């Protein structure tokens, strides 16, 4: 107990990911085996940001005490045993100067006071890049506390099925999500062949194309397009250096060109096209003006429905060029993958990250680091300062590098239109 930590809180925030319970279970068991109590905060920050002494946290409702019996056989279990939410206590903090603004930091203060009210003296944050930003803001907020105040060290475990995280090669849940979506795409491909039709599938992957590409490769789709592919004449003339806008007509023409090549050169009147949902951010402001946004400022891409939007346009363009009516159906895929039973690699990766969170806090006595692995699941710890811009307090998205071997892989495997 030289680390001085007596009670650790585990908190999961943001969208679910397969392998979540691997992280929670192994971190909790590691702590319990070394005499550290563990509580699971229920539903992310949502029960913490409105805390007041007059309305104390309730066990069972706001948090649960994690014990070994309830953690048995949970490592490979679907879902998240402590739940999740997108509540963001750092929503109003966008620069270091805001740490001196009592109104902007009030949710962070209430979060701190809520955790201290139940005796928490260390926090394991599990979530995506937005949750990483929150963890960093929580750490920075504590730096402004009066001298002698009890500090709650925080370590972060990276989570996203999107795999667009700096500082780690692959995030837990990615491969299970790819396999789940790949299976759906293979099923759709058989359906398309049977009915001489096409499916245009919008795949989850908010900012980058890792999930869309992985699903397309695994599912043997005939074409995949993500934000990394919106370059050259696929950019609308009104695009700027800071705001890229997609040339929808050109993307539609490219999809139709692939369909015509399959029909005229390969005698195939069916197929599947995968679009990354992040393309929604590349639509014009006029199209997005009525789309709601979440607590982190992201548009609700589910409300855009790219699959149906493109299906309608592609069907019209195909008929215009060929005189043939082709059934084209737009679908959204992703939600069914987020709580799928994790495959072995995601269980192993999540387990190592959970153990790493314990080691970071209790063995290495670290604060403000993200747990990461490389090679053969070798642990290392990345300081928040290397992942979060110190001036803007935002993270950097990891896109698929243009021309990289992974980027080329999909181009090799999709329908190759010869000149």
Tens-place pLDDT, residues 80-135: 999 999 999 999 999 999 998 999 999 999 999 999 999 999 999 999 999 999 99
DSSP letter string over 45-60? TTTTTT-BTTB---BT
Give residue-wise pLDDT tens across range 338-375: 999 999 999 999 999 999 999 999 999 999 999 999 99
Q: Residues 300, 291: contact at Cβ < 8 Å?
A: yes
Position 419 scores a pLDDT of 57
Distance, CA of 384 to CA of 376 (rounded, Å): 23
Sequence spans of domains, the chain: 7-171+342-386, 177-339+401-413
Position 144 scores a pLDDT of 87
Position 10 scores a pLDDT of 98
Mean pLDDT check: name the lowest of 338-342, 381-385, 389-393: 389-393
**How many CB atoms neighbour CB 274 within 10 A?**
31
Beta strands at 7-13 and 378-383: parallel, antiparallel or unpaired? unpaired
Position 297 scores a pLDDT of 62
Position 416 scores a pLDDT of 76
Burial (Cβ within 10 Å: 0-12, 13-18, ≥19) of residue 104: middle
Of residues 238 and 180, more confidently modeled: 180
Over the chain, what is the mean pLDDT?
93
- Check residue 163 and report its DSSP letter: -
Position 299 scores a pLDDT of 61
Q: Would you give the distance in Å from CA 115 to the centre of its chain?
A: 25
Position 326 scores a pLDDT of 94
Distance, CA of 366 to CA of 217 (rounded, Å): 39
DSSP three-state, residue 126: strand
Position 350 scores a pLDDT of 97
Mean pLDDT check: name the lowest of 41-50, 255-264, 285-294, 385-394: 285-294
Give residue-wise pLDDT tens across range 126-149: 999 999 999 999 999 999 898 889
Provide the pLDDT confidence category of residue 242 given band limits of 50, 70 and 90. Answer: confident
Position 363 scores a pLDDT of 95
Does the structure show a pLDDT above 70 at 418?
A: no
CA distances from 62 to 45, 58, 66 (A): 10, 5, 13
Give residue-wise pLDDT tens across range 288-326: 766 666 655 666 666 778 899 999 999 999 999 999 999
Q: Residues 306, 204: contact at Cβ < 8 Å?
A: no
Of 180, 163, 275, the C-alpha closest to 221 is 275
Return the CATH superfamily for domain 177-339+401-413: Phosphofructokinase domain (3.40.50.460)
Give residue-wise pLDDT tens across range 48-78: 999 999 999 999 999 999 999 999 999 999 9
How many residues are listed for the chain in this entry?
419
Across 384-412, average pLDDT:
92
CATH for the stretch 7-171+342-386 = 3.40.50.450
Position 241 scores a pLDDT of 83
Contacts of 337 (CB under 8 A, 6+ apart): 18, 161, 176, 177, 180, 181, 204
What order do you get walking across the sheet with 223-225 strand by strand?
223-225, 271-276, 198-203, 328-333
Of 279, 113, 271, 98, the C-alpha closest to 185 is 271
The C-alpha R_g of the chain, in whole angstroms, comes to 23
The reply to whether 177-339+401-413 shares the fold of 7-171+342-386 is yes
Strand partners, 8: 38, 122
Phi, psi of 323 (to 5 degrees): 75, 5
Does the structure show a pLDDT above 60 at 207?
A: yes
Q: Dihedral, CA atoms, 9, 149, 156, 299, nearest 10 degrees?
A: 100
Distance, CA of 272 to CA of 133 (rounded, Å): 36
DSSP three-state, residue 109: helix
């Amino acid at each position: 107990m030289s680390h001085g930590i007596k009670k650790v809180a585990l908190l999961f925030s943001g969208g679910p990911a397969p392998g979540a319970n691997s992280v929670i279970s192994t971190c909790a068991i590691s702590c319990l085996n070394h005499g550290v109590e563990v509580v699971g905060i229920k539903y992310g920050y949502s029960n913490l940001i409105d805390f007041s002494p007059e309305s104390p946290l309730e066990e069972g409702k706001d948090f649960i005490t994690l014990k070994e019996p309830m953690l048995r056989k949970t490592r490979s279990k679907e879902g998240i045993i402590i739940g999740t939410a997108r509540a963001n206590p750092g929503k109003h903090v966008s620069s270091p100067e805001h740490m001196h603004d009592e109104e902007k930091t009030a949710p962070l203060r209430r979060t701190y006071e809520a955790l201290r009210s139940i005796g928490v003296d260390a926090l394991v944050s599990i979530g995506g890049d937005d949750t990483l930003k929150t963890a960093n803001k929580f750490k920075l907020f504590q730096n402004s506390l009066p001298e002698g105040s009890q500090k709650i060290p925080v370590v972060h475990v990276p989570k996203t099925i999107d795999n667009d995280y700096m500082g780690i090669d692959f995030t837990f849940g990615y491969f299970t999500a790819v396999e789940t979506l790949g299976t759906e795409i293979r099923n759709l491909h058989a359906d398309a062949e049977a009915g001489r039709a096409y499916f245009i599938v919008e795949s989850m992957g908010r900012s980058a194309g890792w999930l869309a590409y992985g699903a397309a490769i695994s599912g043997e789709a005939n074409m995949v397009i993500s934000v990394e592919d919106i370059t050259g004449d696929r950019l609308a003339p009104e695009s700027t250096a800071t705001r890229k806008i997609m040339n929808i007509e050109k993307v539609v023409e490219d999809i139709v060109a692939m369909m015509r090549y399959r029909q005229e050169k390969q005698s195939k009147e069916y197929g599947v096209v995968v679009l990354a949902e992040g393309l929604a951010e590349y639509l014009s402001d006029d199209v997005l003006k009525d789309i709601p946004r979440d607590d982190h400022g992201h548009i609700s891409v589910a409300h855009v429905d790219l699959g149906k939007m493109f299906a309608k346009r592609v069907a019209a363009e195909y008929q215009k060029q060929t005189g043939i009516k082709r059934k084209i159906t737009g679908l959204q895929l992703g939600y069914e993958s987020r709580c799928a039973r994790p495959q072995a690699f995601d269980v192993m990766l999540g387990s190592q990250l959970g153990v790493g969170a314990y080691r970071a806090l209790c063995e290495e006595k670290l604060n403000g680091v993200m747990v990461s692995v490389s090679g053969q699941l070798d642990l290392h710890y990345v300081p928040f300062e290397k992942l979060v811009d110190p001036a803007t307090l935002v993270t950097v998205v990891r896109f698929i590098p243009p021309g990289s071997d992974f980027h080329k892989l999909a181009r090799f495997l999709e329908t190759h239109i010869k000149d």
